[in-house]
Amino acid sequence: MTDARYYAASPADHAGPGNYPLNCWYVVATSDEVGRSLLGRQVLGRRLLLFRRQDGQVAALDDRCPHRAAPLSMGTLDGDQVVCRYHGFTYAADGECVRVPSQRHVPYGAHVRGYPVYEQPPFVWVWPGNPARSHGTEPPDLPPLREPGWAVLGGSLEMAVNYMLLHDNALDRTHFPYVHPHRIHRGYVEDPPPLQIEVAETTVSYSRTFTPAPLAGWQHEATGLPADMEYTQRETGTFVSPALHVDDMDIIGPEPERQLFRGVFIRAFTPVDAGRTLIIWRGARNYARGDESVTERLREVYEGTMTEDQPLLEAIQATTGGGAGYQVSAAADAAAIRAYQIVEALLAEERGRSVIGRRVARRD
């Protein structure tokens, strides 16, 4: 217990019941939400204060004045300094208190915790864990959101579910015929191809390639491909990190060009607390890029799919209290089970504790 730096990060990091690793980048806002005003946001088991400094960089601090706990987001931004609404305590962008109006000196300990921030538009990522562990790391690169050649739409919503339920749902294809029957093509129900699940240490992905089949209605409307033709489709989904799930959905166009119609559905899952999750999502496509009606059609598909899942997932959350506690799993759940294991291992590493009942933690 001699190293103050090591332990300094611990108590706050493990405040509250969280089954999410803290040494990880999470999306807490989109770039357009953070400007020259104070934004308070409840995420990652705490209230965060976000604002843009004069040089354009985003700052993230605890949204709580250490004096009498007023939310700093109720105060004002003066240059790069945050002034508390209650007594005028003033903080620099790194969280150091620089002024207490009622006295000459700043009291010892008057600083607000700051967080490492990484902005790669449209996402603002924050690292809630040990700040030093963020050095040399970057959030996952998402080329469709930064490269030319893609049309992007998106939004956000909050669900009353633990974030792992959303990962579980995102890695599961077998609920589609039941929950999203009008959004799928024939391949989902007739002779579904093998689901290939690939695991690595901290990631898991599924992929499958369908035998040629007619497109689902929305696919035909979005791509402009004829409804009466059959196309090869491939879908891949990846648990990239506890904070991110990415799906690629490909339609191979007709001969001879065999144009690739690719849709990429990016979902950032950011725990608000143990029972709520903020979903910040983007849908990118490499076709019909200038067509606003396609954008609106796809918006309905993405939002509709999530809101169709929502009542079920929230009911499951209410039933299980968010802990998995499932009694039975099927073969098709292999990817989701792996995601739970990955998170369990990351948490064990982070907390310096063995995974209960697992050998890997104590090879002594």
Partner 1 sequence: MSSGEPPSAAMLTVFSERRSDLVITAREARAEGVISLTLADPGGARLPAWTPGAHIDLLLGDAVRQYSLCGPPGDQHTWRIAVLLDPGGRGGSVTVHQTLKVGDQVAVRGPRNHFPLHAAPRYIFLAGGIGITPIMPMIAVATEAGSDWRLFYGGRSRTSMAFLDELAPYGEQVTTWPDDEKGLLPLDDILASPADNELVYCCGPEGLLAATEQRCAAWPAGALHLERFSAKPQPESAVGQEVPFEVVCQRSGLTVTVPPGTSIIDALDEQGVSVLSSCQEGVCGTCETQVLEGVPDHRDSLLSEDEREANEYMMVCVSRSKSDRLVLDL
Interface mask toward partner 1 for 111-130; x: CB under 8 A: -------------------x
Least distance CB 195 / partner 1 (angstroms): 5
Question: Residue 232: CA atoms inside 13 Å, Cβ hemisphere, count?
Answer: 10
Radius of gyration of the chain measured on its C-alpha atoms: 23
Residues in the chain: 364
**Using the 8-state DSSP alphabet, how is residue 169 labeled?**
H
Give the Cα separation of 123 and 299 in Å (integer): 19
* Site for partner 1, residues 186 to 205, rule: CB under 8 A: 186, 188-203, 205
Separation of alpha carbons 217 and 34, rounded Å: 37
Q: Which is nearer to partner 1, 192 or 253 (CB)?
A: 192
Q: Which of 3, 55, 228, 255 binds partner 1 (CB under 8 A)?
A: 3
When asked if residue 318 is in the footprint of partner 1 (CB under 8 A), the reply is no
Stretch that binds partner 1, among 61-69, 117-125, 172-180, 317-325 (CB under 8 A): 172-180
Q: Which of residues 130-169 bind partner 1 (CB under 8 A)?
A: 130, 132-133, 135-138, 140-141
Shortest Cβ 87–partner 1 spacing (Å): 33
Q: Which long-range contacts (CB under 8 A, 24 or more apart) does 301-307 make?
A: 301/183, 301/218, 301/222, 302/153, 302/155, 302/265, 303/155, 303/157, 304/183, 305/180, 305/183, 306/157, 306/279, 306/281, 307/157
Cα distances (Å, whole numbers) of residue 86 to 45, 103, 113: 24, 15, 19
Rounded to a whole number of angstroms, the minimum distance from the CB of residue 135 to partner 1 is: 5
Pattern 218-257, binding to partner 1, x per CB under 8 A?
----------------------xx----------------
Does position 357 bind partner 1 by CB under 8 A? yes
Strand order of the β-sheet with 260-273 is 151-159, 276-285, 260-273, 244-252, 230-241, 204-214
Which one of 37, 211, 259, 354 is in contact with partner 1 (CB under 8 A)?
A: 354
> What tokens appear for 103 in the block?
């006295």
Within 7-46, the residues that bind partner 1 by CB under 8 A are 7
Q: Least distance in Å: CB of 122 to partner 1?
A: 18
SS3 21: coil
| Whole-angstrom distance, CA of residue 298 vs CA of residue 62 | 36
> Using the rule CB under 8 A, is 293 a contact of partner 1?
no
Nearest distance from C-beta of residue 134 to partner 1, angstroms: 8
Between 96 and 191, CB nearer to partner 1: 191
Query: Which residues of this protein are in contact with partner 1, per CB under 8 A?
Result: 1-3, 5-7, 130, 132-133, 135-138, 140-141, 173-174, 177-178, 181-182, 184-186, 188-203, 205, 216-217, 240-241, 331-332, 334, 345-346, 348-354, 357-364
